[in-house]
Amino acid sequence: MAYVPSPYSPLLKKPGARQFALAGLLARLPISTLNISVMLMIQIQYDRWEIAGRVVAVGVIVWALQTLPTARWVDRKGQRMMIPLTALFVIGTVILIATAMTRGPEPLLWLGIAIASLSGPLGSLTRARWSHILESDDDIHTAFSLEGAFDEVLFVAGPAVVTFMAYTVHPASGLALAAIGMVGGIALLLAQRETEPPAHGEGDTGGLGFQVPAAIIAAAGVAVALGALFGALDISTVAFAKEVGHEKWAGLIIGVISSGSFVGGLAYGARRWRTPLWKRLAITSILLAAGFVALATMPNLWLYAGVGFVAGLAIAPSITSMDSVAQRVVKQSQLTEGMAWLRIGLGAGVALGSWLSGRVIDQAGHEAGLQVMAWSAVGVAVFAIAGSPWVRRDTEAADRRRGITSEPGDTLPPAVALGEQPPIPPIV
Evaluate whether 418 touches 332 at the Cβ level (below 8 Å).
no
Residue 316 · residue 262 · CB < 8 Å: yes
Instruction: For residue 97, give every residue at least 6 positions away whose Cβ sits within 8 Å of its Cβ, in sequence order, or none.
Output: 41, 172, 175, 176
Q: Where are the domains of the chain?
A: 17-418
Per residue in 378-420, pLDDT (tens digit) is 999 999 999 999 999 988 887 777 665 555 555 544 444 333 4
Q: Is 103 left (phi over 0), alpha (psi -120 to 50) or beta?
A: left
The alpha carbon of residue 317 and the mean position of all alpha carbons in its chain are separated, in whole angstroms, by: 14
At 268-321, the pLDDT tens digits run 766 777 888 899 999 999 999 999 999 999 999 999 999 999 999 998 888 878
Half-sphere exposure of 329 (CA within 13 A, CB side): 29
For 107-137, what is each residue's pLDDT tens digit? 999 999 999 999 887 877 887 788 788 877 6
Span 17-418: which CATH code? 1.20.1250.20
